[in-house]
């Protein structure tokens, strides 16, 4: 007994520390809180402004739009594919526009025909399910490793499969920055939409993980935070930020998750975000949404 007590009292042997293991630092750039929110009718403008600012740096680029048909055909000024095609200077050279509905496809073909034909610009319209049809451009390897590539995933709710997002994120094999992704997550109506889904495969494909049944219980902000974290942990993006896009009554209509490997990109998005709001709207929006401290 006395022997046992003596043994317990001996101090535990501690290996001497030879070096400190470096903890990977989160490189996520921090931004100030946004002074005004952006409304849903400006979301296409936000995308086009951001690509314009980015293009000033790269002087080239490819644009992929997975869900490219217009949400409101009578409001062409809100149509992302149209605004991006019209960016000047015309440094973007390749446009791959996908759409499932026949009506949306016809409008995209009309949009393509309305563009002045130039030899060094390619606009292709793909009709059908983006989740499958995207393979035709990815497997052909027609996008170069160093090509700056922007991919808009403006789904309504659950149309974009997680396996598709993964395919896009893993396209670049070398050290070049991955495709920039603009992934739209449903906002305040998410809970209503998720409970209305009849086929389990819809949620399974969208979430792409075994815990998809939990989605029916999760709050929107939890789903948003998990999604943002997955762009970094599963897909390896250096930065992923959820930019809120509000409807006129001030509710989160969407979160636009912007995933990028370029550390300067969030600051460009911040600038695009503030420039996409017109001066006249700012006065109103500022009074509705006073500036907060942090973002």
Contact residues toward ligand SAM (CB under 6 A) are 44, 67-71, 78-80, 98-101, 104, 129-131, 154, 156, 159
Q: Closest approach of Cβ 293 to ligand SAM, in Å? A: 32
Closer of 54 and 130 to ligand SAM (Cβ):
130
Closer of 52 and 67 to ligand SAM (Cβ):
67
DSSP class of residue 266 equals H
Q: Closest approach of Cβ 164 to ligand SAM, in Å? A: 9
Dihedral sign, Cα of residue 168, residue 76, residue 193, residue 247: positive
Q: Closest approach of Cβ 226 to ligand SAM, in Å? A: 22
Q: By Cβ distance, which residue is nearest to ligand SAM?
A: 69
Closer of 71 and 177 to ligand SAM (Cβ):
71
Closer of 98 and 171 to ligand SAM (Cβ):
98
Q: Closest approach of Cβ 143 to ligand SAM, in Å? A: 19
Dihedral sign, Cα of residue 230, residue 96, residue 60, residue 141: positive
Q: Give the 3-state DSSP-derived string for 52-115, with helices as H, strands as E and coil as C.
A: HHHHHHHCCEEEEECCCCCCCCCCHHHCHHHHHHCCCCCCEEEEEEEECCHHHHHHHHHHHHHC
CB 258 within 8 A of CB 179: no
Q: Closest approach of Cβ 285 to ligand SAM, in Å? A: 21
Closer of 168 and 238 to ligand SAM (Cβ):
168
CB 1 within 8 A of CB 209: no
CA dist., res. 269 & res. 253, Å (int)? 18
């Amino acid at each position: 007994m006395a022997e046992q007590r003596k043994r317990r009292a001996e101090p535990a042997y501690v290996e001497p520390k030879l070096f400190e293991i470096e903890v990977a630092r989160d490189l996520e750039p921090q931004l100030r809180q946004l002074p005004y929110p952006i409304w849903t009718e400006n979301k296409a403008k936000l995308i086009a402004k951001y690509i314009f600012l980015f293009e000033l740096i790269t002087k080239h680029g490819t644009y992929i739009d997975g869900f490219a048909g217009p949400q409101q055909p009578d409001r062409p000024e809100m149509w992302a594919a149209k605004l991006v095609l019209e960016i000047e200077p015309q440094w973007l050279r390749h446009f791959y526009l996908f759409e499932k509905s026949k009506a949306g496809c016809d409008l995209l073909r009309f949009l393509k025909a309305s563009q002045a034909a130039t030899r060094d610009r390619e606009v292709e319209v793909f009709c059908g399910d983006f989740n499958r049809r995207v393979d035709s451009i990815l497997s052909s390897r027609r996008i170069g490793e160093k090509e700056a590539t922007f991919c808009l995933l403006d789904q309504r709710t659950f149309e974009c499969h997680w396996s598709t997002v993964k395919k896009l994120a893993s396209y670049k094999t070398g050290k070049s920055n991955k495709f920039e992704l603009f992934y739209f997550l449903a906002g305040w109506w998410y809970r209503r939409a998720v409970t209305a889904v009849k086929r389990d495969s819809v949620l399974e494909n969208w979430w792409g993980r075994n815990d998809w049944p939990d989605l029916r219980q999760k709050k929107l902000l939890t789903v948003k935070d998990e999604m943002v974290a997955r762009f970094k942990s599963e897909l390896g993006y250096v930065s992923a930020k959820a930019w809120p896009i509000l409807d006129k009554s001030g509710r989160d209509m969407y979160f636009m998750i912007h995933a990028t490997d370029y550390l300067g990109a969030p600051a460009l998005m911040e600038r695009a975000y503030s420039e996409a709001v017109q001066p006249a709207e700012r006065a109103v929006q500022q009074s509705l949404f006073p500036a907060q401290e942090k973002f």
